[in-house]
Amino acid sequence: MNIRLSLFMISDWRVGTGTGIHGYVDQLVQRDTRDLGRVPGPPIVPAKTLIGVWRDSCEVAAYALDSGPTGVWHDWLEFLFGGQYTTSDTALRPAALAIQGALRLPDRLTNLLRRKPQVASAVTFRKPGVAIDPETGTAKTDMLRFEEMARAGVTLTGEGRIEGFEKLDDRQRQAAIALLSAGARLLETIGGNRRRGSGRCRLTVEGEGFTPEWTMPEGEIAAPPSALPYSVQDRPRPVARERRPGWERVELVITVKEPVLVAAAVRGNLVEGMSHLPGWCLMPEVARRLGDSAHALVRTGDLVVTAAFPQSPIGGRTLPVPRVLVHEKGDPTAVVGNRMAGATGEGKSCRNGYIAPEEKRIVLPETTVRMHNTISDDVQRPLRKIGGVYVYRALAAGTVLRGEVRVRAGLMEPGWEKALTGQWRVGRSSKDDYGQVSVEARPLGPIRQDGGSGDVLRVWLLSDLLVRDERLRPSTRIADAGRVLERALTEAGATGVQLEPVTETSDGRVTVAVGVNRTESWHRGWGLPRPTLYGLAAGSCLTFAVKGGPIDPAALAEVRAAGIGERRAEGFGQVEFDHELLTEPVAAPKEPSEESSHHDTKPAPEEPLTPGEDGHQSARIFERAAWRAEIHRAAERFMADPEKRSKIVPSGVSSSQLNALREITADPSSAGNRLDWLIRDKAGRSAWPEDAKRTVTELFTDPDRIWTLLELPENELVITTDGVRELRAELRGEAIRVFVQACLAAHARDEAMRQSRYEEAGERSSA
C-alpha cells in the first residue's frame, strides 16, 4: 500500500551532513543535489532520519499500549520497521515500511529555485553559537561556531509503501495503521539540536485507512504475519517452450533517482560503492518481474543479465576500459596509447573507468558521499558496537547507465521486455535513501558476428571472469581462462579449436594485461557472508594463439551472448573478441559538445507558482528572506554614496532631529503629523533643505518611492506570480526603517570623523 507523507516544520531545523566549509560554516545541512548544477539545492529530510525518529515515536506508543517492553504492539513495531542490531546469529526481519527517498519540497518549487539563485541562497541561514564555560558561565575562548539552519514554515513531502499490506486481513491492517498513526502524532521534533528548540515539526500520513483522528482498533489486536522474513521457493518447473537459434536482447536504460550503493569495499567506517551496477545486483529484480519462467532460465543459463555501465556524455554505451590502454598524466579521461597495438604515448596504464568505443574517452561517473550513524536508545548517541558513525560513497543521482538482458530465442512470451520497464529498488539500503532507479527497456538487434579470422584471438573481459583450476580452486591463471574459453567455443560449434596463451611477442607489444578482483556479498536470510568470488577483473586483456581455426563468427557471437566461466547468468564472464580498441592505435579522443554537457545546459523557462498551488507558502518564506537580504545590501550601497545620502540626511541638521527621524521609522504608516512637525521651519533649530523635505516626505507617503531608491532586482527575487506586489506592501515599512537607519549611521560616522579631524587640526595650530 502506498502512503503519502507531509512534514510541516514549525521551527527552524537542521539535518546535518557532518561536514562544514572552513571559514564559512561549521555544520552544513543536507540538500537536494538532483540536477541543480551550481545552484545550492533546498534542504531535505533524509528517509533514514525520518524512519529513525518515527520508530522511536512508535516505540513509545507500543510501550504504552502493551504496558511494558513486550507484547503484540512490539511485534507490529518489528514488522513495520524491521529488526534492530543484535549480537545473536538469528536473521533480522526486513522492514515492511519503505520510504521512497528523502522528503523534499515540491518539484515545481525546486525547479524554480534552480532558476533563481538569489532566492535559493535564502533557503537557509547561518546561526552563531558558543560553548559556555561551566565554571565561569561565560563563553569559552575560540569556541564560536556557525551552524547552517533551514527556515521554519515549510512543508516537505514524500511517499512510502508498506510491503505486504495487501496480504494482511482487516484486523491486521487496522493494527498496522493504528501504530503508524500513533507514532506520527507523537513525533514532535526531528534533526539536530531538537532538544533545544530546533526541528519542531508535525507529521501527517495519508493513505488507505489513515484518518485525521486516531482510534483504537476494536476487539483483540491481531498479531503480525509470522512467516519467514526471507521466503524460500521451490525449484521452478522447466520452461516447456521450444528454443530457437540465437538470443533476444533488451537494453536496460537505468536512470538513478536516488544514490545507488552496491558495496565494493569497506575501509574503516567508509563503505565504497561500485561505479556501475553489476548483473548480480540487477538479477533478482529481473527474475521477479519476469516470473517463474525466468527463475528456471537462470538455472539453465538461458537468461543473462549483464552489468550496467554509465553512459558517455553524448549518450553512448560504455564498457570497462581495457587495461592495455594508456591515459594522459593528469587527465585520467584522455586515452593516448594502446600497448597491444604497439602505439604507446607518455602516460599511465588505465585501470579504472569506462570507455565509449566511438569516442575514445574514459568516463568516470560521479559519486556522492553521505554520512550516517546508528543511535543507541540508552545514551541517545552513536555507539561503535551498534554501527556508530559510517560513510557511504554511492553512485550519484542523475547518473544514466546501460545494461542488457538476454534470453534464448523462443523461451519467453513475445513482449516479455515490457515487464522490465518501471521503478526499481536495487542495491544496499534501498528501503529509504538509496537504490531508487527508473528503468526503460528497449529491444536490440542480434549480436554482431565478426572476428576469429586470424591465427591470434584477442580477448577483452567486459566483466569479472570466474574460473577454476584442475583442483577446483578459484583461479586467475591465463591457461585456465583459455581452457574455459576453448570449451565454450566447442559447445558453440567451433569444434577442433585449440587456444594457447601468448604472453610475449618479438616486437615488444603487450599481449596480456590483467587484474584480479574479489566480490564480497552478504546473505540476509542466512545472516552470514557469502563465499568470496575471486577471479580476473573486468577490463583484463588476453591473447591466445589459435590452432585448428579459423573460428566460426557464429560461434564467437554465441560466446559473446552467453559468456564463459561460472555464474554467467549474473553477468560474470562477459567477453569481447578482436575489438578495434585492442587491435588499432588510439586516435585523438572526441571532445564532448557543449549541448551534451550535463552542467552547462540552461534550464528551460518555467512559470512562477500561483496562489494556492502546492509549494506557494514555502516559496513566500524564501522570497521574503531574499528580499530582506537584498534590502540590506541595497541600503548599504546607498549609504556609501554621500551625494545620494544627503537627500535623505542633509548636513547641518541637529542630531536631535535625526534621532527623531529614526523614531518615526519605527512605524512609517503613522508618520504623517510627526514628520510634518519634524521638518517644518522653527526658530531655534536648523532648517531642512527643500530637496531633503521633499525626498523625506515622498519616502513616507509614496508607496513606491522606497523601492525606486533601493533599485532592487525584483524579478530575480520572486518565484511566485504575486510575489512583487505582496512583498512590496508587506516589507515597505521594514525597508524604510533599514534604509533610513543605514543613512543615519553613515551620516553619524562621517560627522564623527569630521569632528575628529577638526580637533586634530586645532591641536596642531595651537602647538
Is residue 305 a contact partner of residue 278, using CB atoms and an 8 Å limit? no
Angle between helices 292-300 and 279-290 in degrees, nearest 10: 140
Task: Tell me which residue has cell 542523475.
Answer: 398
3-state secondary structure of 173: helix
Higher pLDDT, 362 or 453: 362
| Predicted confidence (pLDDT) at residue 156 exceeds the cutoff of 90 | yes
What H or E segment, with its residue span, contains residue 645?
helix 642-645
Contact between 696 and 652 (Cβ < 8 Å)? no
pLDDT of residue 274: 93
C-alpha cell at 392: 557511504
Q: Return the residue matching grid coordinates 532558476.
A: 115
Task: Please state, as a whole number, how many other Cβ atoms lie within 10 Å of the Cβ of residue 88.
Answer: 7
Structure-model confidence comparison of residues 589 and 9, the more confident one: 9
Q: What is the pLDDT of residue 764?
A: 74
Predicted confidence at residue 243, as pLDDT, reads 79
Q: Please give the mean pLDDT across all residues of the chain.
A: 87
Residue written as grid cell 510491503? 163
Q: Which CATH architecture has domain 456-583?
A: 2-Layer Sandwich (3.30)
Q: Would you say 593 and 314 are in contact if contact means Cβ atoms under 8 Å apart?
A: yes
Of 141-150, 423-432, 601-610, minimum mean pLDDT range: 601-610
Which residues have a Cβ under 8 Å from the Cβ of 550 and sit 6 or more positions away?
Answer: 452, 453, 454
Cα separation, 461 vs 573, whole angstroms: 7
Q: Distance between CA atoms of 213 and 185, rounded to whole angstroms?
A: 10
Q: How far apart are CA 189 and CA 15, in angstroms?
A: 11
- The stretches of 342-425 forming alpha helices (DSSP H) are none
Is the pLDDT at 595 greater than 70, yes or no?
A: no
State pLDDT tens for residues 301-345: 899 999 999 999 888 899 999 999 988 888 888 888 888 887 666
SS3 category, 161? strand
Q: Would you state the cell numbers that stand for residue 264, as one nine-digit string?
A: 565494493
Which backbone phi and psi does 726 adopt, to 5 degrees?
-70, -40
Show the cell assigned to 248: 533476444
Cα end-to-end distance, the chain, whole Å: 92
Separation of alpha carbons 485 and 564, rounded Å: 6
Output the CA–CA distances (angstroms, integers) from residue 653 to 384, 687, 691, 734, 750, in the order listed: 69, 7, 13, 24, 14
State how far the Cα of 151 lies from the Cα of 14, in Å rounded to an integer.
Answer: 9
Q: Are 563 and 304 in contact (CB under 8 A)?
A: yes
Residues facing residue 343 across a β-bridge? 338
Residue (of 420, 427, 426) closest to 442 by Cα position: 420
What is the pLDDT, as a whole number, of residue 227?
Answer: 58
Mean pLDDT on 166-191: 94
Spatial distance between the Cα atoms of 734 and 711, rounded to a whole number of angstroms? 16
| CB environment 339-349: b (16+ within 10 A), e (fewer) | bbbeebeebeb
Question: How buried is 753 (Cβ within 10 angstroms: 0-12 exposed, 13-18 middle, 19+ buried)?
Answer: exposed
- Each residue of 724-743: pLDDT tens digit? 999 999 999 999 999 989 98
**Element of type H or E holding 3:** strand 2-9
> How much is the average pLDDT of 413-437?
92
Going by pLDDT thresholds of 50, 70 and 90, the confidence category of residue 2 is very high
Q: Which of 684, 649, 643, 453 is nearest to 551 (CA)?
A: 453
**Cβ-proximal residues to 2 (8 Å cutoff; 6+ apart), any chain:** 159, 160, 161, 207
Mean pLDDT throughout 46-68? 94
Task: Give mean pLDDT, residues 700-719.
Answer: 91
Class for the domain spanning 247-317+360-443: alpha beta
Q: Please indicate whether the domains covering 247-317+360-443 and 456-583 agree at the CATH topology level.
A: yes
pLDDT, tens digit, 9 for 90 and up, residues 465-500: 999 999 999 999 999 999 999 999 999 988 888 999
Pairing of strands 575-577, 456-461: antiparallel
- Helix, strand or coil, per DSSP, at residue 671: coil
Using alpha carbons, select from 676, 671, 675, 652 the residue that is nearest to residue 747: 652
State the pLDDT at residue 198. Answer: 93
Residue type, 106: P
- Give residue-wise pLDDT tens across range 614-665: 999 999 999 999 999 999 999 999 998 888 888 787 777 777 777 888 888 8
Q: What is the pLDDT of residues 74-86, one digit of tens each?
A: 999 999 998 876 6
Which range has the worst mean pLDDT, 49-53, 198-202, 444-448?
444-448
CA distance 214 to 427: 36
| CA atoms 618, 624, 630, 636: torsion sign | negative
Of the chain, the percentage scoring pLDDT greater than 90 comes to 52
Which 8-state DSSP code applies to residue 260?
B
pLDDT bucket at 188, cuts 50 / 70 / 90: very high
Number of residues assigned to the chain = 767
List, in order, residues 6 or more apart from 474 with CB less than 8 Å away.
466, 467, 468, 532, 533, 534, 535
Residues whose CB falls within 8 Å of the CB of residue 589, separated by 6 or more in sequence, listed in order: 333, 334, 335, 359, 360, 361
Residue-wise pLDDT tens digits, 233-275? 566 777 777 778 889 999 999 999 999 999 888 888 899 999 9
Instruction: Indicate the DSSP class of residue 104.
Output: B
3-class DSSP assignment, residue 524 = coil
451, 458, 516, 449: which is closest to 341 by C-alpha?
A: 458
What is the C-alpha to C-alpha distance for residues 105 and 114, in angstroms, rounded to an integer?
A: 13
Q: State the pLDDT at residue 685.
A: 60
Specify the 3-state DSSP secondary structure of 220: coil
The Cα–Cα gap between 361 and 367 comes to 19
pLDDT score for 682: 67
Give strand ranges (E) for 226-366.
247-256, 263-267, 270-273, 303-305, 309-310, 319-320, 325-328, 331-338, 348-349, 354-356, 361-363
Q: State how far the Cα of 688 lies from the Cα of 683, in Å rounded to an integer.
A: 12
Q: Supply φ then ψ for residue 16, to 5 degrees.
A: -80, 165
Report which of 681, 464, 674 is spatially closest to residue 563, judged by C-alpha positions.
Answer: 464
Secondary structure E strands in 557-620: 575-577
The band of 196, judged by pLDDT with boundaries at 50, 70 and 90, is confident
Residue 465 CA, chain-centre distance (Å), reads: 32
Q: What is the CA radius of gyration of the chain?
A: 34
Tens of pLDDT along 502-553? 988 767 788 899 999 999 887 776 777 888 999 999 999 999 999 987 888 8
pTM, rounded to two decimals: 0.85
Q: Tell how strand 400-408 and strand 303-305 pair up.
A: antiparallel
Q: Where are the domains of the chain?
A: 2-207, 247-317+360-443, 456-583, 616-765
Query: Grid coordinates representing 358?
Result: 566511438
Contact predicate 738/713, CB 8 Å: no
Q: Which residue bears the cell 545550492?
A: 40
